[in-house]
Structure 1
Amino acid sequence: MGIRLGLGLPQMRQYDIGRDVPDVARAAEHIGYESLWVFERILFPEPATQGLYGIPGLPWPDQYRSVADPLVTLTLAASATERARLGTSVLVAPLHVPFQLARGLASLDAASGGRVVAGLGTGWSRDEYAAAAVAPFDRRGKVLDELIDVCHAVWGPDPVAYEGPLTTIAPSVVGPKPKRPIPILLPANSPRALRRLVDRADGWMPVGMGAKKLAEQWRQVQELAAERGRGEPVRSVLRVNTQHTSKAYDGPDRKPFQGSAPQIAEDLAAHAAVGVEEILIDLQGGARDAQELKDLAAEVYAAARAAGV
C-alpha cells in the first residue's frame, strides 16, 4: 500500500447535504480512503469585487454559490464512519471566534474518537472578511496566531486561562477535551507563513500545482525546519483540486490533475514521489450528484493504487 489517500466530502450546491454527506462518507471509507475533508466558503459576492484567490478577473466557480458549513459536514461524516480521519482544508481562522472554534473542534474530536485534523488558514476573500471576520483583513496573521494559542489552551489541562487581543479566558474548566492532541496543519504561502508552520504547527498543507513546484516548496520547508532546530518531523497533507473529464485530456496545455482518472492518477504518482505523506483528492466539483461522486472516487482510487500511489 502506498501513501494515505483522503477524499473531499460533498458540500457544494448540487448535493443534498443531509443525505449525501453520510452516504459519500460511508462509501469512501469502504473504498479505502483513510480521511475525509471539508473546505470553507461562506458567501458568493455578486458582483464579485475581486477574483478567485484574489486574482483579478478570475471568476468564482458557480458551485461556490452554496457551500455547506465545514464542521456541520464533518459531524455528519463522523456519525456515518468509524475509522476515517476528519480534516479541514482549510478553516479560515479569522472568520471564527477563537474560543468557540477551539471548543467545537474539541467536541468533534471527542465524539469521533480522536479523528479530527485541523487545517487552518487566513483566507483571501475581502468580502468574506467584511461579512464575518473577527478582525480586519490586514490582521489575519495575528488572528491565526491567537487561534492556535487558544486551541492549545482550551485543549490542554484545566484550569484554562488565556489573555489575548481577541480572547480572555478567566481560569476555567473547559470541556470536553479532545480524545488526543489534535494535529494542526498550516499552508506556507509566504515567508512569515512558512516560519509559523515550522515553529507552531504539526504539519504542512500545500496545494498540488505541479510536482516540480511542490518539490521546491517541500525543500524550503525542510531547510527552514533544520535551520530553526525543529525536532519533530513536519507532517504533510497535499490538497488536490481535480478537473475530471470522462475522456483523456489531449490538449498541450493540460494542467496538473486535469483529465481522466488515469491522468489524475499519473499526476498523483508524480506528486507522491516528492515525499508527502497523504493526498486529499477533491472530486466533488466535477460530479453532478452523489452517485457520480462515489463512482468517480472509486475509479480514481483504483487508478491511483494501480499507478503505485
Structure 2
Amino acid sequence: MPALSLGVSLQPRWPLDDGRGVLRAACRAEELGFDHVAVGNRLLDSGFGLDTDPLVLLSAVAGATSRLRLLTSVLVAPYYPALLLANQAATLDVLSGGRLILGVGTGWNPEEFDAVGIPARERGARTDDHLAAAGALWSRRPTDFDGPFTTLRAAHLGVPPVTPGGPPVWVGGHSDAALRRALRFGDGWYGSGADAAEVTDVRRRLRALAGDRGDADRLVLASSAFLTPPGVPAAVPPPGRPLGGAAPTAASIADELGLLAEAGLTACTLWLPVAAGDLGEAMEWIAAEVVPQLP
C-alpha cells in the first residue's frame, strides 16, 4: 500500500492586521512534516476563510519555506486567460524550485463569473482551452495554438518552467466531464471529501473512460478532507462529511486515512475549519496523535 501524504489547507480567516500569520502557519506545517499546503481560489468573500489569489499567496509561502509542496485547491481556470495562467504558474514553479501542484477546476460561483465578465456556461470549454494552451506553452518554444478562446502564433512563454512539461496538474471534480478532463490534461484527479468507496469508484470510472488507451492508472488520486480535531473549536461548519466521524478520535481518523490509502489515494489535504489562532494547535495534534498511527 503506498504511503499517504498529508497536507493542510491554509483557509482560516486570518486577521488582516497580521498578514504574515499565514506564512508562520506554513512554516509550522513544514516543521511538523506535512507534505503540502493548499490555498483555494475565491474572488469574492466566501465566508469560509482566506479568499486570496492562490498563486500570489503561494508565491509568498514559497519564499518562506524550502520543502513544502504548494497546491492550488483549486484554481478556477476560466478566470485566468491561458497565457496568464501559463506564465504565472511557470513563474511559481521556478521560484519554488518545482514545488507547485496546479489543482484546477471549472468553478461554480455565478456571482464571480458575472463579475469577471465570463459566461458561466462556458466554464468547461474555457478550462479545456486554457489547460491545452498552457500545456503547449510549457512544452515547446515557439508555440502555435488554435483553440476556441486562445490563439497563439510562435509564442515564447516569458519564463519556461523548471519542471519538464510544466507543473503537475490535478483536475478537480466528480462528474464524468471532470474525469475526462483529468485524463486529457491532468497528472492527477483531485476530489473533495471523498471516502474510500468513492476513490475506488473514481478509479473504476477513470479506467472505463480511458477505454483502449489504458492510461488511467498513471493519474495520482488525491482529495481534500474536512477535520475538526477534538478539543479545538470549529470556527465555521465543515463544508462536507467530517473525517473520522462526527466525534473524531486519533484512531478513527487514522483508520479512515488508512482505508483511503488502500483505495488508492496518495495525497490528502486536511481542511481544518478552525480559527486562525487555533490552526497551529490543530496541526500539532494531527502530527503528534494521528500521523504515528498511520500505516
Q: TM-score, normalised by structure 2?
A: 0.86
Once structures 1 and 2 are overlaid, which stretch shifts more, 139-148 or 185-194? 185-194
Number of equivalent positions = 284
- Which of 167, 185, 190 is the matching residue for 1:200? 185
Conserved in 2, the CA contact under 8 Å of 1:154 and 1:160? Answer: yes
Task: Summarize the Cα distance change of 1:305–1:163 in structure 2 as closer, same or farther, 3 Å threshold.
Answer: same
* 2:161 maps to amino acid: P
Match of 1:136 among 104, 116, 119: 119
AA aligned to 1:289 is A
1:21–1:92 Cα change, 3 Å: same
Q: Over residues 82-108 of structure 1, what are the superposed CA-to-partner deviations in whole Å (9 max), with x where a residue is unaligned?
A: 111111111011112221111000000
Give how far 1:177 is off: 0.9
Structure 2 equivalent of residue 293 of structure 1: 279
C-alpha offsets along residues 78-137 of structure 1, whole Å, 9 cap, x if unaligned? 00111111111110111122211110000000111111111110111111111125x311
Gaps of 5+ in 2: 234-239
Query: Where do 1:251-262 residues align within 5 Å?
Result: 255-257=241-243, 258-260=246-248, 262=250
What's the CA shift for 1:193? 2.0
Letter in 1 for 2:29: A
For residues 207 and 231 of structure 1, the distance between their equivalents in structure 2, rounded to whole angstroms, comes to 19
Residue 218 of structure 2 aligns with an amino acid whose one-letter code is P
SS in 2 for 1:273: helix
After superposition, the CA RMSD in angstroms is 2.6
Deviations 1:214-239 (A, max 9, x none): 32223222343354332761112211
Contact 1:247 1:260 in 2 (8 A): no
Aligned partner of 1:160 in structure 2 is: 143
CA distance in 1, matches of 2:16, 2:29: 16
Match of 2:107 among 112, 120, 123: 123
2:10 counterpart residue number: 9
Give the whole-Å Cα distance in 2 for the aligned partners of 1:16 and 1:5.
Answer: 29
Q: Which residue of 236, 242, 260 maps to 2:227?
A: 242
2:259 pairs with one of 245, 259, 270: 270
Q: How high is the sequence identity, in percent, across the aligned residues?
A: 30
Q: Separation in 2 of the partners of 1:24 and 1:235?
A: 26
Residue 30 of structure 1 corresponds to 31
The amino acid across from 1:214 in the alignment is: V
**Residue 211 of structure 1 pairs with residue 166 of structure 2:** no
Q: 1:276 to 1:7 in 2, by over 3 A?
A: same
Report matched runs for 1:27-106 at 5 Å: 27-44=28-45, 62-64=47-49, 67-106=51-90
Task: List structure 1 segments (4+ residues) > 6 angstroms apart after TM superposition.
Answer: none
Residue 149 of structure 1: how far off its partner (Å): 1.2
Distance 2:231 2:207 in 1: 38
Deviation at 1:261, TM superposition (A): 5.2
Whether 1:170 and 2:181 are equivalent positions in the alignment is: no
Q: Are 2:187 and 2:219, in contact at CA under 8 Å, matched by a contact in 1?
A: yes
Query: Contact (CA 8 Å) 1:27, 1:294: kept in 2 or not?
Result: yes
Kindly indicate whether the alpha-carbon contact (under 8 Å) linking 1:42 and 1:67 is maintained by their aligned counterparts in 2. yes
1:1-45 deviations in whole A, cap 9, x for unaligned? 93211111246354666311221111111100111111111114x
* Residues 16 and 205 (structure 1), Cα distance of their counterparts in 2 relative to 1, 3 Å cut: farther
Q: Which amino acid aligns with 2:111?
A: D
Q: Give the partner amino acid of 1:22.
A: L
**Residues 1:229 and 2:214 aligned together:** yes
Q: CA deviation at 1:205?
A: 0.4
CA 1:128–1:261: 2 relative to 1, 3 Å? farther
SS in 1 for 2:71: strand
* Counterpart AA for 1:163: D
Q: Which amino acid aligns with 2:276?
A: D
Classify 1:96/1:268 alpha carbon distance in 2 versus 1 (closer, same or farther; 3 Å): same
Name 1:282's counterpart in structure 2.
271
Matched, 1:303 2:286: no
